[in-house]
Amino acid sequence: MPSHKPNRYFRLNKAALVAPNVPAHALLQSFTILKQIAENATGSPLGQRAMFVANEIINVFVPNDDGSSIRRGLELAKEVLGDWEAKAEPKAEAGIFALGHCHIDSAWLWPFASTKKKVARSWSSQVYLMDHYPEHRFSATSAAQYKWLQELYPLLFDRVKAKVDEGRFGIIGGAVPSQTAAGWLEASH
């Protein structure tokens, strides 16, 4: 078994960033929805209109143009779908965060007792890492697992609770609906 080396560092040497073409993606989604309507409502006025509009989108689309054919296709799609893509615009600002998380199935191929021990081992490792690496952040989701930790490992629960209060151990998912991963990440930086 390899020895534990607490001062071991890893470097991210390469990351790929992609700038999505949001209008093109919206057109693809619109076209897919129109196609599904046409296939599932065959013979109905809505299905016929969806097929006609999807065909028109194909007719006006010009690959690698200045984006005008995409804009025209989106306008055509609105005849059947309305202006749904305007509501799906992403925020102009974005951030990138590395966030630790371990998914622990509560009772998959092992008994609850094993899960309870696994939660304690996994989360104590994260608290240890937070004690040694101030930039470390971690998230966990299962309310039942927090309850087990509180009942069976109260000292560890108090340490996790302190990390939650510091904004470094994120309670996400259904455990605390008012707290989101993005919110506590922003608050902790």
Q: Which domain holds residue 80?
A: 22-88
**pLDDT, tens digit, 9 for 90 and up, residues 134-168:** 889 999 988 889 999 999 999 999 999 999 999 89
Residues 51, 123 within the same domain: no
- Read off the CATH number of the domain in which 132 is found: 1.10.1240
Residue 131 lies in a domain: yes
Say what the pTM is: 0.47
Give the whole-angstrom CA distance, residue 100 versus residue 122. Answer: 11
Residue finishing a domain among 60, 88, 116: 88
Q: How many domains does the chain have?
A: 2
**pLDDT, tens digit, 9 for 90 and up, residues 56-74:** 999 999 999 999 999 999 9
Residues 120, 180 within the same domain: yes
Between the CA of residue 31 and those of 34, 67, 90, 94, 161, what are the distances in Å?
Answer: 5, 16, 20, 27, 48
